[in-house]
Amino acid sequence: MTILTPARPPRRAGQDQRAFLLQRAQPAMTGLIDGSLSTLAPIFAVAFATRRPHYAFLAGLATALGAGVSMAFSEGLSDTGDLTGRGHPFLRGKITGAGTFLGGVLHTLPFLIPAC
């Protein structure tokens, strides 16, 4: 016995590009922007208060990690993606969380450069 399923109409190139933008590029850019903005204040507050670059690096690393986890959960739980076409929530959450961590940790890397 053969079960027949209805054929899906072929997707156009414009739909593939739109899906890529909504499901991959937009969450990544949102994460990068959020990560870079949410880590600047804690990093520089610790840097100015302690005058120790290693402490500023650790504060930035912790802030980036916390922001990445927070954004991953919030983006993953925001909607199912069925109505908006934004894709699977877990994948979108992982992309946003990774982008947030990356955007935040890039601000901390200069604090590893030794002072001459």
Q: Is residue 12 part of a domain?
A: no
Residues 73-106 pLDDT 10s? 998 888 787 777 788 889 999 999 999 999 999 9
Number of alpha helices (DSSP H) and beta strands (DSSP E) in the chain: 4, 0
Q: Is residue 6 part of a domain?
A: no
Q: 74 lies in a domain?
A: yes
Total of domains in the chain: 1
Tell me the per-residue pLDDT of 20-51, one tens digit each, with 9 for 90 and over.
888 899 999 999 999 999 999 999 999 999 99
* Overall pTM surpassing 0.85 (yes/no): no
For residue 13, name the pLDDT band (cuts at 50, 70, 90): low
Q: Which helix (H) or strand (E) holds 61?
A: helix 53-78
What size, in residues, is the chain?
116
Q: At what angle do helices 53-78 and 26-50 cross, to 10 degrees?
A: 150
103 and 34 Cβ atoms separated by less than 8 Å:
yes
Cβ-based neighbours of 34, under 8 Å, separated by 6 or more: 67, 71, 96, 99, 100, 103
Domain of 37, in residue numbers:
18-110
In a domain, 13, yes or no: no
